[in-house]
Amino acid sequence: MKETLEKRIHEQFPRYVEALETLIRIPSISFEDFDKNEILRSAKAVKQLFESHGFENAKFLTPPSGRVTVFAELKTKPSNPTILLYAHHDVQPTMREALWETPPFAPEIRNGRLYGRGAADDKSGIILHLAAVTQVLALSSDRMPNIKMVIEGEEESGSSGFAQILKENKELLKCDGVIIADLSNFDSGVPSITTTLRGMSAVSVVLKAMKTPLHSGSWSGPIPDPVQALCKMIATLTDSNGNILIDHFYDGIETPSKEELQSYRALDYTEDKFRKEAGVLPNVNLFSKSGDILTTLWRKPSIVVTAIEAGSRTQAGNVLQDSAYARIGIRLAPGMAADTCTLKLIDHLKKICPNGLELSLFTEDGADPFTTDISHPYFGLMKQAMTDAFGTEAKYIGCGASIPGAQLFRDMFGNIPILLTGLEDPKCNAHSENESLNLSDLERGMLAEALFLQGLCK
């Protein structure tokens, strides 16, 4: 049966790639300052894709933001398990378009990789699910679980309305297990199931000293510079080794088990490999030793200044700026809570604001960390399916990023198996310029999920 599935997927693979390219051409950026009509256009394309492949009850589930989620289903037999397949059709902004080798929404294949915004994160997840389901269904509907497709429209901007969608449609979305196809393989050709995610939160900071910018020669000296003041505030967040200095910030962190640490070390991830994949400059000293890099990425919190602004680089003059802005992002280890840690960051910033400067703080919707129990049989079945499809043993890994929907599914449906898979790899440049997808991994990923779905009904 594996050979038949493999043959069918290979023969029809160009058609699936073409469908993915069609989705990539739609600039479905879900952030506030972008056209929401493109999200709707993307949702309509996804809905039409499902309908054209025989899915039923295809419709929009609309959160308060208006960035619609697409639902569709296939019912086979009531006695078969029901699996919910998740991906998202929204994408990140394009970043610096001048650095793209080809336009971000004009997909192009080069050297076995498909380039374009959303190619890896996460429009490939939509096509992965579509191919796996349709190929298993074509061979035997009796060996096909009941399927519910949920393709979110605002994951990249924080999934602010996804909890409401789940609450309002709990009975519609009820299932026996979830596959979230929005994660990474450890490397190209190395299939992986992610078992832990870091959480995330962010606080935007505005520090203001005057009503308007002033001539630096006429006014600087007596007046505190808000840009320097903000830099000093940011400098208090961590020490020279990257350790977070906010009071009680590390409270509640779960220590990795002995088995988890052994599995991390078995991946043999060296400092040289990390430096090469991340593009770290040769003289930059890392905060982690070679053997601790994966633990630092997957099981420890971090703080990053994701944006900072004061004046204009292209129009810099002799000006004492009236204000300075920064967005401070935090990644949270398993055991931490997004709301609690956000408040700790806010309290710290309030305490250290210098010279009576006016401090304004704005929070974003966060996501708690996620862990899962791999003892459920679905995990063993998926690991074997991946191993068979890729021809190399699948790995259990962690991830330093966040998928808000994972914990939301857990909160809504309880302790059902939630499998985190995906097609990103260290070269995919998700969220950066020249995002790309390894097409060989896409084809093998389709086969792996198809084998998993087929195996559920044996």
All CATH 3.30.70.360 domain ranges in the chain, comma separated = 199-253+300-363
All CATH 3.40.630.10 domain ranges in the chain, comma separated = 2-197+369-456
The predicted structure's pLDDT at residue 42: 98
Instruction: Check whether 307 has a pLDDT greater than 80.
Output: yes
**What kind of fold does domain 199-253+300-363 have according to CATH?**
Alpha-Beta Plaits (3.30.70)
Compute the distance between CA of residue 320 and CA of residue 225 in angstroms, rounded to an integer. Answer: 7
Q: Which CATH entry fits the domain spanning 2-197+369-456: 3.40.50.150, 3.40.50.2000, 3.40.630.10, 3.40.50.720?
A: 3.40.630.10
Write the CB contacts of 223 (distance below 8 Å, at least 6 apart in sequence). Answer: 209, 210, 214, 320
Mean pLDDT within 73-98: 95
Compute the distance between CA of residue 313 and CA of residue 311 in angstroms, rounded to an integer. Answer: 7
First to last CA, the chain: 12
Compute the distance between CA of residue 442 and CA of residue 422 in angstroms, rounded to an integer. Answer: 9
Question: What would the pLDDT profile of 3-58 be if each residue is shown by its tens digit?
Answer: 999 999 999 999 999 999 999 999 999 998 899 999 999 999 999 999 999 999 99
> Backbone phi, then psi, for 198, in 5-degree steps?
-80, 150
For strand 418-424 and strand 177-184, is the pairing parallel, antiparallel, or unpaired? parallel
Q: Which contiguous run of DSSP H or E holds residue 338? A: helix 338-352
Question: What would the pLDDT profile of 224-241 be if each residue is shown by its tens digit?
Answer: 999 999 999 999 999 999
**Average pLDDT score, the chain:** 95
Instruction: Check whether 427 has a pLDDT greater than 80.
Output: yes
pTM: 0.86
Cis (ω within 30 of 0) for the bond into 122?
A: yes
Question: What would the pLDDT profile of 348-377 be if each residue is shown by its tens digit?
Answer: 999 999 999 999 999 988 889 999 889 999
Compute the distance between CA of residue 393 and CA of residue 377 in angstroms, rounded to an integer. Answer: 17
